[in-house]
Copies of this chain bind each other. A is one copy, B any other.
Amino acid sequence: MENRLIVALDLTDGSKALSLARSLANYVFAVKVNWPLILGSGSSIISEMSGFVKVICDFKVADIPNTVRLIVEKTRDLGAYATIVHAFPGGDSLETAVQSAGGMKIIGVVAMSHPGASQFVNPRRSDLLDIAKKAGVYGIIAPGNNPDLLGELRAESSGLKIFAPGVGVQGGSPVEAVRAGADYIIVGRSIYESESPVDEARKINDQVSSVSAPQ
């Protein structure tokens, strides 16, 4: 079975992130990088990591179409596997992302994993999912720490891949997230802050390897 684990390298130190990515490459589906790392170490870390592991750029792009295009073209050219783009700016921005991505995948944010998401974003998940489906994204972000909401999005997403952050420190359980319908679980601090990130990654892989996702 395909590995379901994505490690979020939410660090600003490039050499530490690279070293973690190298040691974890055989135990993960992909690594996820975010803006703090790019601000700290430069965008070339994306192409460097892409040489040995899939890289998901969690840039939560949320801009007008012209800027979305410039960001997506750049991450594509740097060799990223996927880039994460918000649905809420509307269909034109998200469609521009899909059209600019070439062979790279676009993952749309339709719900989020932090407490404040319940205030505005998550109650609008159906509208956001519609925008994402119409734009032709490859997958969506659904909160791994909210299995009910994740399951609902899985049921309504017409086969889009489900990427679930919020597992670990944010409260989500790897097993419950997969059982609810996550194709991939995204784990950050509880792996990269552990004493042995490889052991922690292996442990999570073992936990989810026998879990069946809903049909």
Residues of A within 8 A of B (CB): 10, 12, 34-36, 38-40, 42-43, 59-67, 70-71, 74-75, 78, 86, 88-93, 109, 112-121, 124, 127-128, 131, 170
Contact B67 A36 (CB under 8 A): yes
Given contact pairs A65-B114, A90-B121, enumerate 6 new A-B contacts (beta carbons under 8 Å).
Answer: A34-B67, A35-B61, A36-B67, A64-B114, A120-B127, A120-B131
Identify which of B36, B86, B131 contacts A71 (C-beta below 8 A).
B36
Q: 26 A-B Cβ contacts within 8 A?
A: A10-B66, A10-B70, A34-B63, A34-B70, A35-B59, A35-B61, A36-B67, A36-B70, A36-B71, A39-B71, A40-B43, A60-B61, A60-B62, A88-B88, A89-B114, A89-B117, A89-B120, A90-B114, A90-B117, A91-B119, A92-B115, A92-B116, A93-B114, A93-B116, A119-B131, A120-B124
Give the CA-CA distance A125 to B110 in the complex, in Å: 19
Min distance, Cβ A124 to any Cβ of chain B, angstroms: 8
